[in-house]
Amino acid sequence: MLRLRRAEGQIRGVLRMIEQDEPCQDIAQQLAAVRKALDRAFFEMMACTLESEIGDSTDGHERQERMTEVLGILSKYA
């Protein structure tokens, strides 16, 4: 949640920068920082998913099915 709240604050800052006609290069730098923060939040969430979904699997076949599902999510959104 903390990463997302930081990204939210960064987005508000970007909006202010746009409203105040700040230089495009400065805005682009802040947008890149927001994107990186969101990427980190995404990967943290996926790590939790891996731990909970795959870590709980005792059966090898079930584990493989869950791994395939998680990899599908990663390929779709990463």
CATH code for position 71: 1.20.58.1000
User: The whole model's pTM is what?
Assistant: 0.71
Query: Would you state the pLDDT for residue 3?
Result: 87
Number of domains observed in the structure of the chain: 1
Six-digit token pair at 53? Answer: 């979904």
Task: For residue range 10-66, list pLDDT tens digits in order.
Answer: 999 999 999 999 999 999 999 999 999 999 898 888 888 887 877 766 677 887 888
Provide the residue range defining the domain that includes 60: 2-77
Query: Would you state the pLDDT for residue 70?
Result: 81
Query: Would you state the pLDDT for residue 71?
Result: 82
